[in-house]
Amino acid sequence: MKILYRLRPADSLTIIFLLFLMAVSLGFHDKIPRLKILLLTYSALFLFQLFLVKNHEAVVKNRIMDTVRSIVFPVLCVLVIFDSLEWVVQHINPKDIDPLLIRLDYLIFRGYPTVMLESIQTPLVTEILQLAYTSYYFLPISLGVILKLQKREGEFDRTVFLILLCFYLSYAGYMLFPALGPRYTMNHLHSQELKGLLTAEPIQEFLNRLEGIKRDAFPSGHTAVALVVSGLAYRYHKRFFYITLPVVAMLIFSTVYCRYHYVVDVFGGIILAAITFLVGGRYYGYWEVRNNTNH
């Protein structure tokens, strides 16, 4: 039983989600291509997570291994699992819900938001908002690194857990509600291409190659993760919060302006962030009480 209390909520969360992915893959084994590669990938992450847990005391005493445990491995899990969804989502749930999302957007705005935003489209605005959209990949790591360098281990562990929970819940959302997003489904309605000044187009091309076509529009993970990071920053590092607040605001707006998401996806991301704080916060508080009691 002792090993159970070594498990940080972030560790147990990753273990559970990897088991869930393996179960889904096996459950749809006749529909999923590259099944063996998927299972091998999930198993490798699972076994390395167990290794880190089993050797917890030795790992935390080694600065390099502790960095791997606390920062590198969680980031790796998020990236690898996200990349694997391209082989999973469309095969276990092939019916995209884009028509529904497009209809909901139209009912709310009496038009198509990504098309309507062409009225404010300029190369400068596109450049700024594409950079803001890309900040999503750096905001969670930046906050985590700051807390880790300040040796605020309790706040750091809670931050990693809640950010991972938000990511994993968004991935589950993609499986339940697969959607391509307006950059693919509504391209024929856009009269202008998104052109920036210098970096916008190379970033767009890079992200398209990196992310591929994954049915990852609903809910908006960019919105949810950015809000979770911002909420954690407000609680643990006010300076980081105020510095990044304009970036987070532009990031959320950019999800629609840059045609990655419908507005309904953003609403879904807001709800996801709220669920993350509500459910994740309660669970983490419960774990802290149990962990302290057993010590």
The pLDDT tens digits for 154-210 are 999 999 999 999 999 999 999 999 999 998 899 889 888 888 888 888 888 877 777
Distances (CA, A) of 183 to 39, 180, 208: 31, 8, 10
Q: What pLDDT, on the 0 to 100 scale, is given for residue 258?
A: 93
Place of tokens 């063996």: 36
The CA distance from 48 to 130, in Å, is 35
Per-residue pLDDT of 115-145, as tens digits, reads 999 999 999 999 999 999 999 999 999 999 9
Nearest to 224 by CA among 262, 281, 265: 265
User: What is the share, in percent, of the chain residues with pLDDT greater than 70?
Assistant: 95
Q: What is the pLDDT of residues 176-186, one digit of tens each?
A: 999 999 988 99
Residue segments in the chain with a per-residue pLDDT below the cut of 50: 1, 4
Structure token digits, residue 7: 């498990």
What local confidence, expressed as pLDDT, does residue 50 receive?
A: 92
- Of 63, 33, 279, 18, the closest CA to residue 161 belongs to 279
- For residue 100, how many C-alpha atoms fall within 13 Å in the half-sphere facing its CB? 9
Whether the link from the prior residue into 178 is cis, omega within 30° of 0, is no
